[in-house]
Structure 1
Amino acid sequence: MSDVFISYVEEDTDIVEPIARGLTEAGYSCWHYTKDSIPGTSYLAQITAAIARAQVVLLVLSERTLDSFQVDKEISFAHESNKPFLPIVRDLAWSDFQRRQPTWRLAIGTTVAIPVPPGGVETIVPRVLEGLRRLRVQPGESENGAASRSVPELASRIGMVLAETDQSGERVSFQGGRYRVVRRLGEGGKGIAYLCHDTALGREVAVKVLKEDGLDVDGHARFQREIQSMARLAHPNVVTVYDVVQEGRRSFLVLEYLEGGDLDAAIAARPQRRLDVATVLGVGRDVARALEYLHGHGVIHRDVKPGNVWLTAALDAGAGAQAKLGDFGLALLGDGTRLTRVGMLVGSVAYLPPDVALGRPADHRSDLYMLGATLYEMATGRVPFPGDDPVRVIFQHVNDLPVPPRRFAPELPEPLEHLILRLLAKDPAQRPATAGDVARVLDEIGRSGGESVAASGPAAPEARAVRASTPEPRFAQPLIGRDRELALLRARVDAAARGEGGLVLVTGEAGIGKTRLALEVRAHARSLGCLWLEGRYPKEIRIPGQGWVEAIRGLLRTAAPATISRVVRDQCAPLLKFVPELADWIGPLPPPPPVSPEEERARLVEAFAGLFLAISREQPLVLFGDDLQWATSLDLLPALARRVESERLLLIAAYRDAELKEQPGLAKTLLTTQRERTVHNVTLRRLNEDEVAQLVAATLGEAASDKLARAVYQKTEGNPFFVGELVRYLTESGAVTLGDHGWEVPDAGLLQLPDSIKAVVGERLERLGDEAKRALTWAAVVGREFALAVLEDVADLDEDVLLEAMDRAVAARVLAPRPGLGQEVYAFVDNQMRDVLYDGIGPARRRRYHRKVAEAIERVHLRRLEEQYDALAHHFLEGNDLEKALEYALKAGERAYQAPSWAQARGHFETALELMDELPEDLERRAQVLERLADLDNVAGHQSTLHAEQALEAFTKLGDKRKAARMARLVGRAWNAGFAGVVDWPRVMEYMETGARLLADEPDSVEKASCLGGLTGALALGRLELDRALATGEAAVAVAERLGNVDEEAITCAHLGAVLVLRGDLDRAREYAERSWETAQRGHDLFSKAQVMYYPLWNWPWRHDRDDLTRWLERAVDYRSRYRVERYDRPIYGVKALLSALLGQPAAA
């Protein structure tokens, strides 16, 4: 058949094909399988026959060959057939091969190998020919000693499986008839199982055909390595793998057959699907011992569930059934290799560990969580989180606590319930340390008859809470009555993953479930492989961009370094003042050029938007912003809404509409955003009575009586948060009990429902204990979110006591851990809980607490104190330390102004003015604060000149002419622009003249150029003193040119254009107008860019040039699309409308 059989793996094709060509040219016949070979009976037979008839086996050895199951079988058969070997090694020392594959070395029987030269394979063919001659292999002299063997016999010898099927295509045997099929046992996601009779050994076995669909070449190779490793495992509680055989790229496992069937069927056959305690302990102990053995050999099972636990006999009394863990289709070796498709969750969703659901690598603690879920089902007859929607079940694994098992099986020993809850801890670190620990505890529970048993490893917060009080219902509320809203949000996530981004605004009252709905969407987004980033805005302390900063820090914590380095570019520089950690990725940058506050704000919004868009181009992104009613600015929403239509980004923004209406600036931005076509709205309503009944039942884990559900509905009026809190109150107070027909009210007189949500919350807080309430009271003073280090500083509690209090509060869902930058951070789950605690502190004690908190923040956050300016100003003010409060209010205001976050800066500076009224007079500091407020009035377009006039007076008293002139210019500009209500030319002239007069004899300065420029416009338009206006304007331009200030030059050139139009000098007017436009483009002041747009208003009555007007219209549209500074919208719209009308485009106007 052939002279030479070449054995190799696919990765070495690059040297096999040149060798085969060289041998053929030398007259040898060669056999080697290629990429185009089709696996099947004839294919396998060809390999078998080719080895049998070849004179020699040419064996190509490399790192990849060492792991090939196929090559192993070929070597074995060739050795059995007494074939000589000619080894060729590449990238592998012959001595290293001999050490790592001693069995192959003995089979090959030679100590000589041909190395592949570093430069390629051109010179290797002569060496192969020389090797064949030494072995006395001549062309055309193939041996035929094995030719008479049948194909099945040859296949059996080499270990291949030849499928034998009946006419319907159903299997009748395996491996050349050795394993005769008795019946099909079942089919699952990982393969098909058959009960077979082993004709060689006369025993029943199970043959499982493994599904390897979707694996690439590398994945297939890893799969082969791992199932071979599994076959070497041997333990009384692990299903024995007798053999691993192959048919092409398909693998078969020959397994021990267990007559008792699987545990899943055993549970289904029992009344109420519950097993007795002794059986739960025995089966659990066996599975734990199996896991202990697997973990000790570096194997993570990853699919522990009743369907993969097999029994040696039926679970009848006295049968002595032993449990064995099987089905390693998802098993993972200790090197971290996964055998699943990229981005897909594996394992059964009903038993899925939350850490795996969140994308973290599986480890031995993941198996322990699944063991906990299996024990839970054996004990209660139900899985921890039942449901038909996989995404919702995943959400519950990540966010909810299971109903304690004794709620459904009161006969369970308490230690067993505690162990199950520990195994089901969300945090892997809170689960028992090892499977051996679990087996030991189950043994001791069985021997002690249910007495308390300790297990090594940290106690989970959930378990502590269970021991301390009546077991809690679910950790997070089930989602009821939100099917339509959830469907819309899921559809938008799906669309974003396809590249059709958008923005969804979710609104509703406090406690209506906005955050809960978003968390449900998070589970769906992550299941699709989307990145989820989120941020919240605190009510008490408003930091510019706080929510988006939190989202970026989430990116830095969770994303791969390579991803971060690709998305964080130089354009992120404006974000450095908020997220200093970005400096590690951006590197050193030159100081940014000075820009106006408006330009700085526009750059900041662009930096946020650009970063989130860049992230979405690496991985589909869902960005969730919560509590936006407390934000200082919503500028990012319209900026993204206009740009996400073709991006893989979905922004979900949640806010309370009632509170947002109290902030006109935010409400206006939101109204603008809603005009974009990429925006969708979701308004959450209260639940109706039927939905409340469903929510009560889902929260408690059992149906509730009609009387109970109706009473809860009437008291809560369908607010989901109130429903959840009230249900907790009723179960913990004993007002309701679990009966044969669900949750009932045993005594109508006990059903005294609190009148308010705060009363319910107060009752629950009382049950946490004195230490926990003390710690939480201090935490309420710190704020909605707090660092544990600050609480440790002020609470005066032993560290262990404080940590226990935090754990109890987390278990009771009063607090939730939050990601923190190098520190442990917690947040109140809801503001209502914090309010109850805070309102219970008397005024005098409250002031003392605030002072202590402020001093603790100064100590704890010393190295990054600037991030705490807002908090320090707040706490020192509430603590009645006015001097300190003023110090930090000024620092916080300046930081917000530079951010820029104008609304927040205004609040701090106004607070500072009020504090100054209570402290000794400091005119210089007051003038500086008034100046900042005047600037804020100007940039925000406030119709007030009060702060500027007061600042003018203060700077005049101080003798600071430049700042006084600047304030005069601001007042004059306000009256000129009509920001103060009307254009009052006498006042405009008064203040412009004042500014120019103050600086008449002073050196050149920006203020001087600005005042002269402003006076130019006032003289021309207010008094028609055109000659003086022209001279003043030219003087202003000269000052600006000498200073190199293009912004003031541009504005004054625009004024001169208007002056020259009024003088009738249209050509020079046009020159100045064009100069103003070109100069403004080099500047940083958005006001100057807007100011130059007014030229056409003065030019059109005297010069009707369509080309000229078209050019100015294009400039107006470009300005509007690029900057969108709200302050200049109206004048720009006016210019655009006028020009459109003049050009005969009324629809555009």
Structure 2
Amino acid sequence: MNILPSGHIIANKYLTLELLGQGSFSQVYKAKDLTDDKIYAVKIFPGNLVDINAASHEFQVLSELAHPNLARVYSYESYQGNCCLVMEFIPGPDILAACQGLAIEERCLLTAQLCDALEYIHSRRIIHLDVKPSNILTDGNGSVKLLDFGQASYAANATSRRTGTPAYISPEVIAGQAADGRSDLYSLGVLMFQMFAGRLPFESSGAKELARKHLSQPPPLPSSFNRSLPKPIDSLILRLLNKDPALRPLSAGEVSEQLSLLAGAQPGRAVTGRTSFIFKSKMVGRDKELSELRQALNNAVGGQGGCLFVSGETGIGRTKLLNEFALQAQISECQVIWARCYEEQSAAFDIILQIIRQLLPLAQGCCHQALTEYGPLLAEICPALAALPEIRDLPPAPLLPAGEKHLRRLDAISQFIIRTLESSPSAAAALLLESIQWIDRESLEAICYLVRNVPKYRVLLVGSSRSDDLPPGHHLLQAIESLTVENLAEQIFLKRLGQGEAAELLANVLPGIQSYRPLLDRIAAQAEGNPLLIEESVQQLLDQGLVVKRRGQWQPAIRDLERINLPGSLSKAMESKLNNLSASQLAMVQAMSVMERPSSLDEIAALSGAATPQVSLDLTDLINRSLLAAIHGPDGRQLYGLNHSAIAKMVYQSLSPQAAKTLHRRAAEMMEQEGRSSLQDLSSLARHWEMAGRPKKSREYHLRAGETLFEYSKGQAIFHFEKALTQGPNDAASMERLQKLYYLSGEYSRALKLARELFEQRGPSPDLFYKLGRCQERLGNYDDSMEYFRQGLAVAGNNPEATARLMGAMAVTCLSRGEYRTAERTCLDALKILPEGGRGAVEAGLYNTLGQAYWHLAEWGQALSAHRQSLAIKEREGSLYGIAASYNNLGLVYYRMYDWDRSAECHQKSFAIREKIGDISGLARSYNNLALIYRHLYDWEKALDYHGKCLQTMERIGASFETAVSLINIGLIHKARGEWDQALWNYNRAIQLAVNIGARDVMQDAFIRKAEFYLSLGSLKDADLFCQKSLDLARELGRLETGRAVNLSGRIAHMRHQWAKAKDDLSKAREIFSELDIKAGEAYILKNLADLHRELGQLEESSALADKSLSLAQRVEEQQLAAEAMLLKGELLELKGLEGLKYLEWALEIAGRVNIAETTWPILSAIARYWARQKRYRPALENYQKALQLIKQALANISQPDLKTAYVLSPVRRRLFKEIKRLKQEVLSIAG
């Protein structure tokens, strides 16, 4: 491999600073993470299969280990066909160089640390097989780090392969025997000889000669080269260099103890006794759950992204499961992104901002377009992005109303994440979200939006939460349930370990302890299968010296197990830990419980009042006690946080009120001095000053936070304004902001209450009466609303804009009440009051309301004029959103005028603008409107395309109601095209979704459509089932739905020859549709009644009804119905002995435009019957064959055997088959 220059970017994330070293198979670089500026060592392997396997092997080995004397590995990355490991950067020097000038005792302590690392990996059945100076570095703080596990092997898999460096290799490895931990001890002996004697025990210029010396030549005394060396060290080194592994020390732990004694230190120091690293054991009892996660990742690799939620009680092992999964994902060359919630009151979009910051370098390197397209929108929630060179010169996003703006923001977040991740060369990406029981509502909404968009991409989301922190009805539980019901997410519930699994965990934690079964059973039973409580129980035993290591094996220190007291619960375990803290450690933990979020060493020192060196020592001890965890903050700083929220709560509750006040004050002062001003900081400062008893300062930060949140987190903004108003005088400006927030959030009762308080404080004004009236209108209190508006007019005086605004609001209320003429007059009067060139928004709104009034009055020309006036004003004002809305309104008016071309033109213009400004819900409406136009034009391809786009958009934004409606519309088109299976699938999906969200009107529509579907296929039993469902719902949904359901019931009764019921039902349905003035519906019912009278032999009545149906169908341009009515008229004429062919041919011509098979084949069969009666057998057979071909095509699209049978055996089709058979017989008899 070529050496990379400084400044080169690896894996779109790591900036090379210098080459640290190069071997035969890899290069190691010092590199900076561009997301947080932290320094790492990046080890690159070539892209051939052997080296990829080597990298994967080393990553797997290191990922299972966690020890203070081992270099940590963080991730496995792919890079330009190569692979690399991202590891802890250790500055050095190596252990040999570090020993220069050190006393023998200090060298002993350094070597003891190395022995601790070897003891740890050996206890995990891992052999290093390459112990040498260059693989043992010091970190500058007195710690030794063992690294480079490229040659490492599991003891069970150790082979006779010759590995290692010749100067340090053991005799048994040279001889081709299987290695074990004692082979590392031999290499340790060579290293110690070098450290204490100043040279190697065996030296030679040739590899063969060196190997011979290792195999057969006795080593010299180390003291012969260093006469100051104590005899015990001489003896220890010679034991380590014994040719016979059985005569070497039993373990690295034994060597560590001897070196500690020789250094005058207490053997069994904290690092080898009771530390958190001891519990980095293999995962137990989670194979099924891990398999589910792997399968989901495999699906993502195949382009089928998804989401899983992992939950369980405190200590159940969620983090361990995610860590294991993350390691396997990285080995599979998948990118892993971590984000975490740290506290219950996270700021808006907190977890989303963590993700964006991590993806930023990838976007800058691989997906520049995503950054420029979505950057300005993301900068709304992350202002720092606005300073990026890719974004700073871009124009701001076009203005939208609050709801549409929020939706556009969610879409930008989702699209930026997806497109950036998709640009990565990784096989897939896994977003791991920890502790989302504390997720803020804004982040959760963004995550749900993202989940709805990932199914077609290589992205997997995994969220983990503590179930015992979630009360019933929590917003996270509701979101998970909703996504699960929509089949967009799956849930994994982690259960407690069984007894066998608990024993296995204990055996992993304490190798050798499994032989002491009574102790294992006691721990397992007391912990009740909770992994964390098992580990805490073991830690307590170690702390009390009740479990010790002897000859490399853990065993009880006492025989009487009844004397062993175990914690019994996590709270007791935590309490026991806290009781054993020193005064300085307790002060630190108390300071951290006040901060709630992870803090730096300096912050902890400032809060606790302790000196930084003491804090550093205490931090190390608290980490070893599993009370703290060290993490890296977003700015690259090393931070420390309490391991469990239960610890923070317990500690905080133990504080005296005065102590808590003092700590909160210190925290606030420290944050102010540092100039902290992020949204999370503003929220924290408000809380700290409040708890410090400084309401004025708290109010200041609550108001700042509220203003910052106003545009994109109404819920959190409301919280901060409410808090501010409780901490000082109710100033009108803050009350007005809060009142507006209430109104925009749909909390109209609270908005009304606050508006009244403002009225009491400030007195009457047109603006306050306007606000009071709008709140009442939204609450449905129309009389009260009108009264407030009238009072507003009384105080508006000679202010024309205020008067017109109030009158416009009155007109809107009139529309809500159905008083369309009053709304019209009010708008016209208001327009007269406004001066020429007056306030554009008010004038445009008045014309828009006027247009709606004319719409309801079916005065289409007037409606067009009003909406055009509104459009002209909006174009003058440059309001793109308003222009799009006006074009949409014009399109709807043209639609009702059956001017399809102009309607389509207006909707296309509206669509183009909405696409430009990012009005996503508006786009979906445009898709739907265009689809409806093309449905009326019977252009099924375009209608299906637009309905499909509408469906995709609605699914993308999580609009379940509109999604269900789109599914029904798509089902209708498939039915029209004779694609029966697709139609049924869409109807079933719509019903399922409607049931899930409780949308009874959508459910009703789907039931009716499904009943019509079965009726068309001749399956009366199924049709009747769904008809009855629709009848049951219709009782509570009103007259229109009753009319639809009763019409359907009449048709089914007709098919069953229940003539009286059919006539009653159809007559009732006609009455309802006539009363509601729904011409298209009435036309269809007239056709159904005409069919019924024909069946009863009442040809004149049938003919009259058919004429009325045809007239209405032509009037409302229902071409399918017109074709069917003409068919009926033609057949009636034939039954009367008159010529009906002309109507039949007209019907066929229209059917050709409509292109609906179920409309066309009955017309063809009627024409065939006509020619058969005329003894014109050729055209009769041709038309019968065409009809039969259409029926065969329909059958090919029906997969269910029972529906195929019902379709074939339906009366109308059986009649056709009989006619064809009779015609063939007639032709044959003539021919014969």
**Which TM-score applies when normalising by structure 2?**
0.53
Of 415, 422, 430, the match for 1:622: 430
Q: 2:191 matched to which residue of 1?
A: 284
Of 984, 991, 1002, the match for 2:781: 984
Q: 2:987 matched to which residue of 1?
A: none
Tell me, in whole angstroms, the C-alpha distance in 1 between the residues paired with 2:1006 and 2:164. 85
Q: 1:326 matched to which residue of 2?
A: none
- Amino acid across the alignment from 1:412: V
Q: 1:610 matched to which residue of 2?
A: 415
When residues 317 and 691 of structure 1 are mapped into structure 2, their CA distance, relative to the original with a 3 A threshold, is farther
Secondary structure of the structure 2 residue equivalent to 1:1018: helix
1:1066 and 2:860 matched? yes
Once the 2 structures are TM-superposed, how far is the Cα of residue 613 of structure 1 from its aligned partner?
Answer: 1.3
Deviations 1:162-186 (A, max 9, x none): xxxxxxxxxxxxxxxxxxxxxxxx9
Secondary structure of the structure 1 residue equivalent to 2:662: helix
**Which TM-score applies when normalising by structure 1?**
0.57
Deviations 1:316-371 (A, max 9, x none): 7946699xxxxxxxxxxxxxxxxxxxxxxxxxxxxxxxxxxxxxxxxxxxxxxxxx
Of 321, 330, 335, the match for 1:526: 330
When residues 1030 and 1020 of structure 1 are mapped into structure 2, their CA distance, relative to the original with a 3 A threshold, is farther
Conserved 8 A contact 1:784-1:827: yes
Once the 2 structures are TM-superposed, how far is the Cα of residue 833 of structure 1 from its aligned partner?
Answer: 2.4
Q: 1:681 matched to which residue of 2?
A: 491
When residues 378 and 683 of structure 1 are mapped into structure 2, their CA distance, relative to the original with a 3 A threshold, is farther
Once the 2 structures are TM-superposed, how far is the Cα of residue 1085 of structure 1 from its aligned partner?
Answer: 11
Tell me, in whole angstroms, the C-alpha distance in 1 between the residues paired with 2:592 and 2:772. 48
Conserved 8 A contact 2:773-2:784: no
- Amino acid across the alignment from 1:1004: E
Once the 2 structures are TM-superposed, how far is the Cα of residue 954 of structure 1 from its aligned partner?
Answer: 0.8
Once the 2 structures are TM-superposed, how far is the Cα of residue 764 of structure 1 from its aligned partner?
Answer: 2.6
> Structure 2: where are the runs of 5+ without partners?
1-23, 25-49, 55-77, 84-130, 135-161, 201-206, 223-238, 905-927, 934-945, 970-998, 1014-1040, 1042-1232
Q: 2:819 matched to which residue of 1?
A: 1024
Of 681, 695, 714, the match for 1:868: 681
Deviations 1:923-978 (A, max 9, x none): 425xx23x444434334334x51333322441564258364145224413422xxx
- Amino acid across the alignment from 1:569: T
Q: 1:828 matched to which residue of 2?
A: 642
Secondary structure of the structure 2 residue equivalent to 1:568: helix
Tell me, in whole angstroms, the C-alpha distance in 2 between the residues paired with 1:833 and 1:690. 30
Q: 2:742 matched to which residue of 1?
A: 937
After TM superposition, the structure 1 = structure 2 runs for residues 457-856 of structure 1, keeping only pairs within 5 Å, are: 465-466=270-271, 470-476=274-280, 478-556=282-360, 562-563=365-366, 567-582=370-385, 583-585=387-389, 586-619=391-424, 620-633=428-441, 634-657=444-467, 659-662=469-472, 664-704=474-514, 705-738=516-549, 743-744=555-556, 746-767=559-580, 769-820=582-633, 821=635, 823-856=637-670
Tell me, in whole angstroms, the C-alpha distance in 2 between the residues paired with 1:653 and 1:308. 57
Task: Flag the structure with higher helix content.
Answer: 2
Deviations 1:1024-1071 (A, max 9, x none): 26145444267369969957766x777655543442244442343366
CA-based RMSD = 5.6
Secondary structure of the structure 2 residue equivalent to 1:869: helix
Once the 2 structures are TM-superposed, how far is the Cα of residue 885 of structure 1 from its aligned partner?
Answer: 1.6
1:1146 and 2:959 matched? no
Tell me, in whole angstroms, the C-alpha distance in 2 between the residues paired with 1:594 and 1:511. 48
Tell me, in whole angstroms, the C-alpha distance in 2 between the residues paired with 1:669 and 1:1083. 39
Tell me, in whole angstroms, the C-alpha distance in 2 between the residues paired with 1:1072 and 1:1130. 31
Once the 2 structures are TM-superposed, how far is the Cα of residue 871 of structure 1 from its aligned partner?
Answer: 0.4
Deviations 1:59-111 (A, max 9, x none): xxxxxxxxxx9xxxxxxxxxxxxxxxxxxxxxxxxxxxxxxxxxxxxxxxxxx
Conserved 8 A contact 1:787-1:825: yes
Of 834, 850, 857, the match for 1:1056: 850
Once the 2 structures are TM-superposed, how far is the Cα of residue 782 of structure 1 from its aligned partner?
Answer: 1.0
Secondary structure of the structure 2 residue equivalent to 1:635: helix
Secondary structure of the structure 1 residue equivalent to 2:388: helix
Conserved 8 A contact 1:894-1:905: yes
Aligned residues: 765
Q: 1:274 matched to which residue of 2?
A: 182
Deviations 1:716-751 (A, max 9, x none): 332222222222222222233457985446322322
Tell me, in whole angstroms, the C-alpha distance in 2 between the residues paired with 1:310 and 1:548. 59
- Amino acid across the alignment from 2:650: V
After TM superposition, the structure 1 = structure 2 runs for residues 896-975 of structure 1, keeping only pairs within 5 Å, are: 896-898=709-711, 900-916=712-728, 921-925=729-733, 928-929=734-735, 931-942=736-747, 944-955=748-759, 957-958=761-762, 961=765, 963-975=767-779
Once the 2 structures are TM-superposed, how far is the Cα of residue 868 of structure 1 from its aligned partner?
Answer: 0.8
- Amino acid across the alignment from 1:615: T
Conserved 8 A contact 1:616-1:647: no
Once the 2 structures are TM-superposed, how far is the Cα of residue 640 of structure 1 from its aligned partner?
Answer: 1.8
Once the 2 structures are TM-superposed, how far is the Cα of residue 849 of structure 1 from its aligned partner?
Answer: 1.4
Conserved 8 A contact 2:306-2:451: yes
Once the 2 structures are TM-superposed, how far is the Cα of residue 873 of structure 1 from its aligned partner?
Answer: 1.2
Secondary structure of the structure 1 residue equivalent to 2:677: helix
When residues 1087 and 1034 of structure 1 are mapped into structure 2, their CA distance, relative to the original with a 3 A threshold, is same
After TM superposition, the structure 1 = structure 2 runs for residues 130-279 of structure 1, keeping only pairs within 5 Å, are: 264=173, 273-274=181-182, 279=186
Conserved 8 A contact 1:1053-1:1072: yes
Secondary structure of the structure 1 residue equivalent to 2:565: coil
Q: 1:1015 matched to which residue of 2?
A: 810
Tell me, in whole angstroms, the C-alpha distance in 2 between the residues paired with 1:1119 and 1:565. 28
When residues 768 and 998 of structure 1 are mapped into structure 2, their CA distance, relative to the original with a 3 A threshold, is same
Tell me, in whole angstroms, the C-alpha distance in 2 between the residues paired with 1:668 and 1:261. 62
When residues 666 and 599 of structure 1 are mapped into structure 2, their CA distance, relative to the original with a 3 A threshold, is farther
When residues 603 and 793 of structure 1 are mapped into structure 2, their CA distance, relative to the original with a 3 A threshold, is farther
When residues 595 and 416 of structure 1 are mapped into structure 2, their CA distance, relative to the original with a 3 A threshold, is farther
- Amino acid across the alignment from 1:707: P
When residues 770 and 596 of structure 1 are mapped into structure 2, their CA distance, relative to the original with a 3 A threshold, is same
Deviations 1:784-838 (A, max 9, x none): 3223333232222111111222222233332222222154322222212222322
Once the 2 structures are TM-superposed, how far is the Cα of residue 760 of structure 1 from its aligned partner?
Answer: 0.9
Tell me, in whole angstroms, the C-alpha distance in 1 between the residues paired with 2:394 and 2:879. 19
> Structure 1: where are the runs of 5+ without partners?
1-68, 70-185, 191-213, 220-235, 240-252, 294-306, 323-374, 383-404, 418-447, 455-462, 976-982
Q: 2:256 matched to which residue of 1?
A: 413
Once the 2 structures are TM-superposed, how far is the Cα of residue 543 of structure 1 from its aligned partner?
Answer: 0.7
Tell me, in whole angstroms, the C-alpha distance in 1 between the residues paired with 2:647 and 2:388. 39
When residues 1134 and 614 of structure 1 are mapped into structure 2, their CA distance, relative to the original with a 3 A threshold, is closer
After TM superposition, the structure 1 = structure 2 runs for residues 1082-1097 of structure 1, keeping only pairs within 5 Å, are: none
Conserved 8 A contact 2:721-2:738: yes
Conserved 8 A contact 2:961-2:1002: no
When residues 1035 and 1003 of structure 1 are mapped into structure 2, their CA distance, relative to the original with a 3 A threshold, is closer
Tell me, in whole angstroms, the C-alpha distance in 2 between the residues paired with 1:1124 and 1:1086. 23
Tell me, in whole angstroms, the C-alpha distance in 1 between the residues paired with 2:240 and 2:892. 78
- Amino acid across the alignment from 1:1146: R
Tell me, in whole angstroms, the C-alpha distance in 2 between the residues paired with 1:940 and 1:475. 49
Once the 2 structures are TM-superposed, how far is the Cα of residue 276 of structure 1 from its aligned partner?
Answer: 10
- Amino acid across the alignment from 1:990: E
- Amino acid across the alignment from 2:827: T
Secondary structure of the structure 1 residue equivalent to 2:433: strand
